[in-house]
Structure 1
Amino acid sequence: MKPVQSRMAPPPPPGIRISTLLLLLGLLALVVASFATLPLQWKAFFTLDALRTTRDFLAGFAPPESAPNFLRKTATATAETMAMSALGTAIAAAAGLLLALPASGRFGAGARAVTRMLLNGSRSVPELVWASILLVAAGLGPFAGTLALAVHTAGVLGRLFADALENTSPLPESSLRLNGAQAMPAFLYATLPQALPQMLSYTLYRWENNIRAAAILGVVGAGGLGQMLKYHLSLFQMHQAATVIIAMLLLVAFVDAGSFMLRRLLMR
């Protein structure tokens, strides 16, 4: 005779907390209030006149400028935009790692609070505002744009790096310290290798974002493709602007594909 197997009742579904429900209702109320207060003219957007005007405007971009001299100028601006984003991200990664050490609480609660406040202020100011400020000190050109990307991105990466360090297991470093290792070697051999793949992934992702930001920073005179785009659009030279926009799209697609491949290699 086979023993009768008792069937356990499935666990009850988790309940919703009152605080979570109130938060969701508050977010829903904000969305409804946003639609109610903003003057969204959906009917004017989908009229035949609006569609016809948009079609005529987009048709003005065709065909893109393909003169050899202009293509060489666009290629130079593309390389400048790439260099701005890569150098700005590299400087930000180095500064973010240095700031992440006190921001992760390794030097006490006071240093953690001060560094976190510094990182919050750095990333709260948009890149365009940093570029406008640094243009006064560094002058027009890619140097100010590179510094603007570095300052803003350092605040972002510093916060992400600090969180990654805080989430690592403290046991390997504690074991090395108990066996006589100094603080810095214990950190480099035990804690940093745990957080390094995540840090590299964050850095590559921010590099993708900085490619787009570097293209926009040229609007305020920071060089690169953005400065070319602003110049030709202000003169209503739509064919030249179309070539610059295509170069932006190709650059972003190239960096996205390269960053995706690098992240896959790092996560193996």
Structure 2
Amino acid sequence: MSPNHNPVQVNIPKPMFDARCKSCWVVLSIGVLIAASFISLDLQWRQFFSIDAAGRMLKFVNELLSPNWEPAFVRKVALATLETLAMSALGTLIAAVFGLVWALPASKTRGRSNDQGVYVARGASRAVLNSLRSVPELVWAALMLIALGLGPFAGTMALALHTTGVLGRLFAETIENAPDHAAFALRARGVGPVAVFWYATLPTVLPQLISYTLYRWENNIRAAAILGVVGAGGLGQMLAYHMGLFQMHETSTVLLAMMLLVALVDFLSYWFRVRSSR
């Protein structure tokens, strides 16, 4: 073999488990937790796959596959569908407005001063946003029902409060990550912070803000249907009522309306995103 000839290097595959591999220990720990979960939970698989359980489920599915198409009941479902749609749309709109208001002091931008007041305002606004989104919609709905009574207004405010925290946080991060070239040019000419945000920052981040708002509207459609279970109006309230009475034919009609409403909102959201990206 000539001295200039380099031998072929063979990459030996690493062993499946290495004591120095941190990811291996993480995967092993997750596997141990999953195994402990199966052992600790009383999972009655034999009863779940029994003939008696299968018969009850088959009867339940057969009743769900025969919706109630009586005109009077369909009219009630249509009105509840519009109510659910209005709850989600109005709640999302309120959340988008107030989320943007809270996102401005919560965002850290390069054009703002670094005095103590700015830090206090940023910390306080982020604490408010964290508090709003950490409370689930159902808890907000229960609180609003106590304050406002039964009906769609309580559900709308519950959606608005929770979604304000979510959108406010997303809006703040979007504003922080926005390109600063146009804003820097305006600040160099002595333009005030309000005009800088209105003419430089907002046009840059507006498509992303609209995208986040539409995504949360899709989620709020599902949440609005669930909020009705606690008496906040809409399809959820009808669903809870008819399921509580074991009226499966009426329940099937309400579930179909929910699925159609979610599909409609998904299509509208996709159409808005396509139009806004052009």
Residues 96 and 72 of structure 1: is their aligned pair in 2 closer, same or farther, counting only changes over 3 Å?
A: same
One-letter amino acid matched to 1:248: M
1:61 aligns with 2:54: no
In 1, Cα distance between the equivalents of 2:35 and 2:103? 39
Partner of 2:88: 85
Match of 1:206 among 216, 220, 226: 216
Q: How does 1:223-238 map to 2 (within 5 A)?
A: 223-238=233-248
Partner of 2:204: 194
Deviations 1:207-237 (CA, angstroms, capped at 9, x unpaired): 0000011011111111101111111111121
The farther-off stretch of 29-38 and 142-151 is 29-38
Residues 183 and 217 of structure 1: is their aligned pair in 2 closer, same or farther, counting only changes over 3 Å?
A: same
Secondary structure of the structure 1 residue equivalent to 2:196? helix
Secondary structure of the structure 1 residue equivalent to 2:255? helix
The farther-off stretch of 102-111 and 113-122 is 102-111
One-letter amino acid matched to 1:73: K
Q: How does 1:144-183 map to 2 (within 5 A)?
A: 144-183=154-193
Residues 185 and 31 of structure 1: is their aligned pair in 2 closer, same or farther, counting only changes over 3 Å?
A: farther
Partner of 1:256: 266
In 2, Cα distance between the equivalents of 1:142 and 1:260? 26
In 2, Cα distance between the equivalents of 1:164 and 1:181? 22
For this pair of structures, how many residues does the alignment match?
A: 253
Secondary structure of the structure 1 residue equivalent to 2:64? coil
**CA displacement at 1:198 relative to structure 2:** 1.1
Which segments of 5 or more consecutive residues in structure 1 lack a partner in the other structure?
Answer: 1-16
Secondary structure of the structure 2 residue equivalent to 1:60? helix
**CA displacement at 1:170 relative to structure 2:** 2.0
Match of 2:53 among 50, 55, 59: 50
In 2, Cα distance between the equivalents of 1:260 and 1:144? 29
On the 8 A contact 1:105/1:111 being kept in 2, the answer is no
One-letter amino acid matched to 2:224: A
Q: Specify the structure having the higher radius of gyration (Cα).
A: 2
The percent identity for this pair of structures is 56
In 1, Cα distance between the equivalents of 2:184 and 2:21? 41
In 2, Cα distance between the equivalents of 1:99 and 1:157? 9
Residues 156 and 26 of structure 1: is their aligned pair in 2 closer, same or farther, counting only changes over 3 Å?
A: farther
In 2, Cα distance between the equivalents of 1:24 and 1:76? 50
Partner of 2:4: none
Partner of 1:125: 135
Partner of 1:38: 41
Partner of 1:71: 74
- The TM-score normalised by the length of structure 2 is 0.85
In 2, Cα distance between the equivalents of 1:238 and 1:41? 26
1:95 aligns with 2:98: yes
Which segments of 5 or more consecutive residues in structure 2 lack a partner in the other structure?
Answer: 1-19, 113-117
- The TM-score normalised by the length of structure 1 is 0.88
Please provide the CA RMSD for this pair: 2.0
In 2, Cα distance between the equivalents of 1:25 and 1:69? 58
